Amino acid sequence: MDSTTNFRGGSVSVRLPRIDLPHTEWMGSLSLSEWKNWNQPRIDISIITNNRPLSFTRLFKSLNETHFYGDTVDLRINVEQSADDETLKIVQNVHWPHGTVFLHHRIVQGGLMQAVVESWYPGSNDTYGLLLEDDVELSPLFYAWAKMSLLRYRYGDPRNRSPLMFGISLYQQKNVELPPEGRHLFNARALFNNHGISDPTTPYLSPIPCSWGAIYFPEHWREFHAYLPLRLSGSPFKLDKTIVPNVRSNKWTKSWKKYFIELVYLRGYVMLYPNYADFVSLSTNHLEVGSHVKVRTLEKQKQFLVPLMETTNCGTVALLDLPGRTLPQWNALPVLNLTGGMATLESLVEVGHIRREELTGCTDDLALFDIHQLLCTAPKL
């Protein structure tokens, strides 16, 4: 079904397939400026897979059950050199009606860090990357959450936009992994209630990058692509230099998240996280054996598996189960630090600035997304 929404000075055409119409209630929460920008953002989906054909099939099935509301969504499938024949056969026969499909097969095994970091690169500042490892499964409403959040915090009221926001998580945290003493259970609603947050059901901001289903923003991903080769080259810091004090990720030497966390810490960046009842999420992780999971026990799996938001009437948690049935204003979002404690955006930025000065000796004002200026590696004029 085609629908044209008219605004003063122009109109926006929104083409909704009939199958999506029963799942459009969230659109009523959009502001005028958000509607005007409906067609601006484009989300690319990038899947990283190796030798888990059943996992890939489960993920792809959940993608096929997703409501994309008529948007064009391109798909990239990144296959590791060591992929088995069954996985290769499956990916070569995928049918994707929502956009183009690009298959990328590595000829030299690079490991998970390279597989993830090289899996996507933005084509413009309106292009966003959904990065998915194959042991992730998605809610049919994940795209609605992503689009609603993008329109609010990237295209809506300028007061709701901030260069500090680097992405949107589909996954709701049940654990915080970065405290030096080890992983511990986490419940955002309980934390907010204990700290007197007026509505503990609110989504929130956290500097922790999610790897179990998340949208990454173009400017920040480009900056990470510029940061990582410098960091791995040993310039300006030795490779074993601790950038972020007192976090477990310092030991994750083969994980891209270790280095993304460093960049996030120095900048004061944050990601939007959902906070629905009973940990209901837009993605879940099945914690299957692979590069970083050597043994999977039922107990450990339960620590990470979360229920997916459903579209059926029997679903008890809905997308607009939000404060005032809409996404909060930017300045109303609670902010956490890397270890799951309460913070402010100002405190995160200040801590990063102090650490940058300690590491580089530089005290000059920071330019947006300029990694050489951040690390003081730009040639002096």
Query: What's the confidence (pLDDT) of residue 226?
Result: 97
Residue 347 backbone phi and psi in degrees, to 5? -70, -35
Interatomic CA distance for residues 201 and 49, integer angstroms: 34
Query: What's the confidence (pLDDT) of residue 185?
Result: 95
Query: What's the confidence (pLDDT) of residue 314?
Result: 64
Cα 282–chain centre separation: 11
Tens of pLDDT, residue by residue, the chain (381 residues): 555 555 555 688 899 999 999 999 999 999 999 999 999 999 999 999 999 999 999 999 999 999 999 999 999 999 999 999 999 999 999 999 999 999 999 998 888 899 999 999 999 999 999 999 999 999 999 999 999 999 999 999 999 999 999 999 999 999 999 999 999 999 999 999 999 999 999 999 999 999 999 999 999 999 999 999 999 999 899 999 999 999 999 999 999 999 999 999 999 999 999 999 999 999 999 988 655 555 567 888 888 999 999 997 666 899 999 999 999 999 999 999 999 999 999 999 999 999 999 999 999 989 999 999 999 987 555
Query: What's the confidence (pLDDT) of residue 10?
Result: 67
Q: Strand 101-105 to strand 75-79: parallel, antiparallel, or no bridges (unpaired)?
A: parallel
Interatomic CA distance for residues 263 and 207, integer angstroms: 10
Locate 365 and state its tokens.
Answer: 């004002």
Interatomic CA distance for residues 145 and 373, integer angstroms: 34
Q: Indicate the SS3 state at residue 189.
A: helix
Locate 71 and state its tokens.
Answer: 């948007």
Nearest Cα residue to 203 out of 167, 249, 163, 159: 167
- How many C-beta neighbours within 10 Å does residue 230 have? 16
Interatomic CA distance for residues 189 and 200, integer angstroms: 5
Torsion over CA: 349, 350, 352, 357 (sign) = positive
Nearest Cα residue to 153 out of 259, 34, 292, 49: 34
- 236: cis peptide before it, omega within 30°? yes
Residue in the structure block whose two tokens are 């391109």: 74
Cα angle value 349/281/145 (rounded, 5°): 70
Query: What's the confidence (pLDDT) of residue 12?
Result: 87
Interatomic CA distance for residues 140 and 64, integer angstroms: 8
Query: What's the confidence (pLDDT) of residue 109?
Result: 84
Locate 6 and state its tokens.
Answer: 């008219």
The identity of residue 318, as a single letter, is A
- Looking at domain 42-375, which CATH architecture does it have? Alpha-Beta Complex (3.90)
Element (H, E) at 44: strand 42-49
DSSP secondary structure, 333-378, as one string: S-EE-TTS-EE-HHHHHHHHHHHHHHHH---SPPPTT-HHHHHT-S
Element (H, E) at 88: helix 85-91
Q: Which sequence spans correspond to the domains of the chain?
A: 42-375
Beta bridge partners of 93: none
Query: What's the confidence (pLDDT) of residue 378?
Result: 72
HSE value, Cβ hemisphere, 13 Å, CA-based, for 94: 28
Query: What's the confidence (pLDDT) of residue 298?
Result: 81
Query: What's the confidence (pLDDT) of residue 313?
Result: 66
Beta bridge partners of 297: none
Interatomic CA distance for residues 75 and 47, integer angstroms: 8
Interatomic CA distance for residues 283 and 150, integer angstroms: 17
